[in-house]
């Protein structure tokens, strides 16, 4: 028997997971209901045809909301694809890098490095700037961008190392951005980019779909014969349904976008995210037991990374965190320490709970 919302008792958990990340409670409830009875069809969302008018309306609305929230003009198409952002590491150069051309990349972390690896398989790829020399703890600046590039690829936010681009390169070269971990978290001018892609599982929905917003005039120029499944033009023509799309993740992404718009859109969530980040960074800088790991001017508002002055006390801090149901704050295995992901759906209440634990820890062990 399915219990109603009012009969389910759940312990409050403060979810700082780096991804898949937290989703709004009302979105989870709506998604759960759609799994039983979608659109009053007395059928589950999971079993209806993706060619039905009901689902075609879902994907059309989701694509329109992406365009609205990114503020892009005519000439952009939005896709919802499978394969995660990792597939886009290959699809971007496959669709944009000419057989005799050159792609430029800025290396700011693990995911940028993986994108570079895939691009090198497709064609000539040049790393024009990198922060690897200091273990990706800062964002490169003031680098020269060759004018002959087919495109420049950047990663706006780095989940593992906790850095974020506060501004984007000004260039006449087509700009491509992996926004997987900060999409729709702050105001950006979508028209500054030739292509934006983002895995849904941070700020937009569950794992299983990836959003691509691409300017159509950038496509069809590579000089290579394209595989249909990897061809943006084929996917655009098919309305993201050249093959059966990831129906459930797309629907939950739509619900999340509607939640964002209903509450005030990008302007609203940017202020909320700034407040959450400032609250936590202020405590890290004040607290004698912790230290931030990235350059202050490049600190991410989405993924806050920090370590202890006395790492041997980590088990004690973990114990305190567990007592108040803080979840997902351990750092990535490549960095260690702690990482608190402050995605859109995470309430300020959860950040305050983490700050209170940090203060209690300092009081006990300093």
What are the helix (H) ranges across 263-347? 265-286, 314-323
* Catalytic residue from among 182, 202, 231, 259: 202
Whether 298 sits among the annotated catalytic residues: the reply is no
Distance CA 244, CA 240 (A): 9
Contacts of 318 (CB under 8 A, 6+ apart): 330
Distance CA 25, CA 160 (A): 26
CB burial of residue 229 (10 Å; 0-12, 13-18, 19+): middle
Neighbours of 90 (CB within 10 A): 17
Distance CA 303, CA 340 (A): 6
* Catalytic residue from among 5, 39, 74, 111: 111
* E-assigned strand segments in the chain: 14-15, 76-81, 102-107, 124-130, 151-155, 157-158, 163-164, 175-178, 195-199, 210-215, 290-292, 303-308, 326-327, 338-341
For residues 145-162, b (16+ Cβ closer than 10 Å) or e, as one string? beeebbbbbbbbbbbbbb
Distance CA 313, CA 40 (A): 54
Distance from chain centroid for Cα 175:
18
CA distances (Å), origin 218, targets 85, 96, 309: 19, 7, 49
Whether 202 sits among the annotated catalytic residues: the reply is yes
Element (H, E) at 66: helix 53-70
Q: Which H, E and C letters describe 110-167, residue by residue?
A: HHHHHHHHHHHHHCEEEEEEECHHHCCCCCCCCCCCCCCCCEEEEECEECCCCEECCC
In contact, 155 and 162? CB cutoff 8 Å: no
Whether 221 sits among the annotated catalytic residues: the reply is no
* Catalytic residue from among 53, 67, 133, 178: 178
Distance CA 243, CA 203 (A): 25
Structure tokens that stand for 92 in this block: 């971007």
Enzyme catalytic residues = 111, 178, 202
């Amino acid at each position: 028997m399915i219990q109603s919302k009012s009969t389910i008792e759940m312990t409050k958990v403060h979810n700082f997971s780096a991804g898949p990340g937290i989703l709004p409670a009302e979105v989870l409830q709506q998604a759960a209901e759609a799994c039983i009875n979608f659109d009053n069809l007395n059928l589950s969302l999971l079993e209806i045809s993706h060619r039905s008018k009901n689902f075609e309306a879902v994907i059309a609305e989701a694509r329109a909301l992406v365009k609205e929230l990114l503020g892009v003009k005519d000439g952009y198409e939005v896709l919802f694809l499978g394969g995660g952002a990792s597939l886009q590491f290959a699809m971007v150069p496959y669709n944009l890098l000419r057989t005799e051309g050159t792609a430029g990349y800025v290396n700011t972390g693990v995911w940028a490095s993986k994108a570079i690896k895939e691009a090198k398989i497709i064609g000539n790829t040049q790393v024009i700037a990198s922060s690897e020399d200091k273990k990706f703890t800062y964002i490169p600046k003031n680098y020269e961008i060759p004018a002959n590039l087919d495109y420049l690829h950047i990663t706006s936010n780095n989940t593992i190392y906790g850095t974020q681009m506060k501004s984007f390169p000004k260039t006449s070269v087509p700009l491509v951005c992996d926004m997987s971990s900060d999409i729709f978290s702050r105001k950006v001018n979508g028209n500054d980019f030739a292509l934006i892609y983002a895995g849904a599982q941070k700020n937009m929905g569950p794992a299983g779909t990836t959003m691509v917003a691409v300017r159509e005039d950038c496509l069809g120029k590579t000089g290579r014969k394209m595989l249909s499944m990897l061809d943006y033009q084929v996917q655009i023509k098919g309305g993201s349904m050249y093959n059966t799309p990831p129906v459930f993740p797309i629907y939950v992404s739509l619900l999340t976008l509607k939640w964002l718009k209903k509450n005030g859109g990008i302007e609203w969530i940017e202020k909320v995210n700034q407040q959450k980040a400032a609250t936590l960074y202020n405590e890290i800088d004040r607290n004698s037991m912790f230290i931030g790991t990235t350059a202050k001017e490049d600190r991410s508002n989405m993924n806050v990374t920090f370590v202890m002055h006395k790492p041997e006390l980590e088990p004690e801090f973990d114990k305190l965190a567990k007592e108040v149901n803080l979840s997902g704050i351990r750092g990535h295995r490549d960095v260690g320490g702690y990482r608190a992901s402050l995605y859109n759906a995470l309430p300020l209440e959860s950040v305050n709970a983490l700050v209170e634990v940090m203060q209690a820890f300092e009081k006990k062990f300093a």
